[in-house]
Amino acid sequence: MRRQRPSWQPLDVTGRSRTTGPEAARTDAFPAAPSATAPLRRGPADGDPARGAAPVALAGVRRSYGAVNAVDGVSLTVPAGQVVALLGPNGAGKSTTIDMLLGLTTQDAGTVSLFGLSPRRACAEGLVAAMLQNGGLLPFVTVETLLDTLRGLYPHPLTTAEAMRRAGVSDLAGLRTEKLSGGQRQRVRFATALLPDPQLLVLDEPTAAMDVSARQAFWAETRDWAAEGRTVLFATHYLAEADDFADRIVLLRAGRVVADGTTTEVKALVGGRVIRATLPRVDDHLLAALGRLPGVSRAARRGDTIELRCADSDAALRALLAEAPAVRDLEITGAGLEDAFMVLTADSATPPAQLAGSAVQIRAPHFGEMAP
């Protein structure tokens, strides 16, 4: 019942970005007239051929550590103005991809270009900034001194006060960095990333260690920032964040892109909905029968609750009511990103591509599974 494609081609969908073509990208990234909210951004020097080039262009990038292929041929182009989530489980290659993107690690093969420049050059020009996972804050100096120092190393920075205000750390200015809490450190890192006034912001697990309100404030500020036509690429394993915030989701598994599309499209990859219902005394035999109903791709049970993952929930519901008239408390929900994530990033024994269509085999280790 598993439908496979001979080889997986990731959907290359641009997403609901505000800009797609190079022309639009240029207008967005380098507005013709300065405004109060979006002062004229300096890109690569005027007349530079890099002007208008894609903020991120990775082509066939690979990196192995010993026998492990951390990143195994990733190609990714991000047009200006797009907010892209790099989603994947631990070890999927998110951080290695980001390190190569920023020039912190050299790739074994493939090319990386940011705004048509080498990562090193793009960073030196202040076009790119990153919020790295862990570290990055020098101990025994105050937040303000740290930012002032970094500020002197960029060609067209914001003022320290402005970066602190935007990151919500103005009240921490006089504190020494080693005395900050985890969430505070993360916000100070955000300030360091805003400081060069970049066109591309790269965030590696940005909201780890933040509490719920800090997380909301962080995304609100990042959203404002991106609304000025700038580009954001962030790695996360908070699925809700990718769902809420990204225009486009790139799903990584074992160093490869297994899906690339809008949030809606990635969810559609799982194909369909989930039916939950109360049905007492379901034995293994009945559960297996439910799993074989038309439109159902997988059946599972937890106590008196059954859960049917469906490619065609209409057909499944009709069949369920006929098969088990005692069923009650019916609930049909759209499959969340969590489900897409589980399907597409399941262990590598599962082929990556089971897409739309009637037969989707869902392997979700978090729910009591019934072997048919």
Partner 1 sequence: MNPLALTARYTRFEMKRVARNPRFLIFSMFLPVVMFAAYTSTDATDALGDITVGPYIMVSMASFGAMMSVVSTGGRIALERSGGWSRQLRLTALTNGQYLTSKIIGGFTLALPALVAVFVEAYATGRAKLSFGTYLEAGFWVLVGMVPLATFGILLGYLVRADNAGQLIGGMTSLLALAGGVWVPVEQFPGWLADIVKALPMYWSGAAGRDVIAGSWIGWRGLLVLAVWTLVLGRLAARSYARDQLRA
**Chain positions contacting partner 1, by CB under 8 A:** 99, 102-106, 120, 123-126, 128-130, 132, 134-141, 149-150, 152-155, 192, 196
Ordered alpha helix ranges (H), the chain: 22-29, 94-101, 119-124, 143-151, 160-167, 182-194, 212-227, 239-245, 263-270, 284-291, 313-323, 337-344
**Shortest distance (Å) from residue 209 CB to partner 1:** 14
**Shortest distance (Å) from residue 348 CB to partner 1:** 26
In the complex with partner 1, which residue's Cβ is closer, 100 or 316? 100
In the complex with partner 1, which residue's Cβ is closer, 8 or 225? 225
**Shortest distance (Å) from residue 17 CB to partner 1:** 25
**Angle of helix 143-151 relative to helix 182-194, nearest 10 degrees?**
20
3-class DSSP assignment, residue 342: helix
In the complex with partner 1, which residue's Cβ is closer, 106 or 216? 106
**Shortest distance (Å) from residue 78 CB to partner 1:** 18
**Beta pairing class for 109-113 and 56-65:** antiparallel
CA R_g for the chain: 23
**Shortest distance (Å) from residue 113 CB to partner 1:** 16
In the complex with partner 1, which residue's Cβ is closer, 126 or 295? 126
Distance CA 200, CA 116 (A): 13
Distance CA 172, CA 141 (A): 12
Tokens read off for 15: 């997403």
Nearest to 167 by CA among 147, 187, 186: 187
3-class DSSP assignment, residue 329: strand
In the complex with partner 1, which residue's Cβ is closer, 47 or 135? 135
Distance CA 244, CA 364 (A): 22
Surface-to-core class of residue 90, CB atoms within 10 Å of its CB (0-12 exposed, 13-18 middle, 19+ buried): exposed
Distance from CA of residue 20 to its chain's centroid? 19
In the complex with partner 1, which residue's Cβ is closer, 124 or 217? 124
In the complex with partner 1, which residue's Cβ is closer, 124 or 332? 124
**Shortest distance (Å) from residue 88 CB to partner 1:** 21
How many CA atoms lie within 13 Å of 167's alpha carbon, on the beta-carbon side? 32
Distance CA 108, CA 267 (A): 33
In the complex with partner 1, which residue's Cβ is closer, 182 or 280? 182
Residue found by looking up tokens 């269509």 in the block: 357
**Shortest distance (Å) from residue 153 CB to partner 1:** 4
**Shortest distance (Å) from residue 230 CB to partner 1:** 16
| Number of C-beta neighbours around residue 157 at 10 A | 21
**Shortest distance (Å) from residue 125 CB to partner 1:** 8
In the complex with partner 1, which residue's Cβ is closer, 104 or 315? 104
**Shortest distance (Å) from residue 120 CB to partner 1:** 8
* 128 close to 114: Cβ distance less than 8 angstroms: yes
In the complex with partner 1, which residue's Cβ is closer, 120 or 292? 120
